[in-house]
Amino acid sequence: ISLYFHGFYAPLFIAINVILIFYKSFKYSYSHSNRALDAIVVIFWACCNLSRLTLARKGNKTEDIYGLLINVGLSFPVLLGHIFFYLWQSIILDIDKILSVIGIVFLVFEFILSGLAIMTFITNKRNI
C-alpha cells in the first residue's frame, strides 16, 4: 500500500518542487547558483526515488532479494534529499517542510517493510 501511494506522491513532490523553484525566484531574492543547486537536487532525488520505487515494486512482486537490497541502499540518498529540502535549501517555506516530512514518513515505513520482506524471502527460500 505504501509503494502504491508513494508512487503518486513522488511525481507530485517533483512537480511541487519545480513550481516552488520558480515561485521562489520570482518572490524572493534567489540567486542563479542556489536555483541551480535546488534544481540539481530535485533531479538527483527524482532519479534515485523513482528507481528505488521501481525496484521495490518489482522486488516485492517477484520476491527478489537483490531488488529490495538496492531499494534499501537507495533509501539513504533519498533521505539526504529530503533532509536537504527540509534544512539546507537557501529559502525554506513551510510547504517544503511539510512535503519533506511526508516523504520521510513514507521512506521510513518502506524501509522497515523492505527489511521485513527481505527477511521473509530469505527464510522462505531456505525452507524450499
> What pLDDT, in 10s, does the model give residues 79-97?
999 999 999 998 999 999 9
Q: Closest Cα to residue 9, out of 88, 118, 104, 92?
A: 104
pLDDT digits (tens, 9 = 90+) for 3-35: 899 999 999 999 999 999 999 999 998 889 999
Dist. CA 7–CA 90, nearest whole Å: 28
Q: What is the pLDDT of residue 11?
A: 96
Stated length of the chain: 128
Instruction: Report DSSP letters for 37-83, one per residue.
Output: HHHHHHHHHHHHHHHHHHHHHHHHHHT-HHHHHHHHHHHHHHHHHHH
Confidence at 55, pLDDT banded by 50, 70, 90: very high
How high is the pLDDT of residue 126? Answer: 73
> If pLDDT is split at 50, 70 and 90, which confidence band does 99 have?
very high
- Check residue 1 and give its pLDDT: 79
The sign of the CA dihedral 112, 113, 118, 121 is: positive
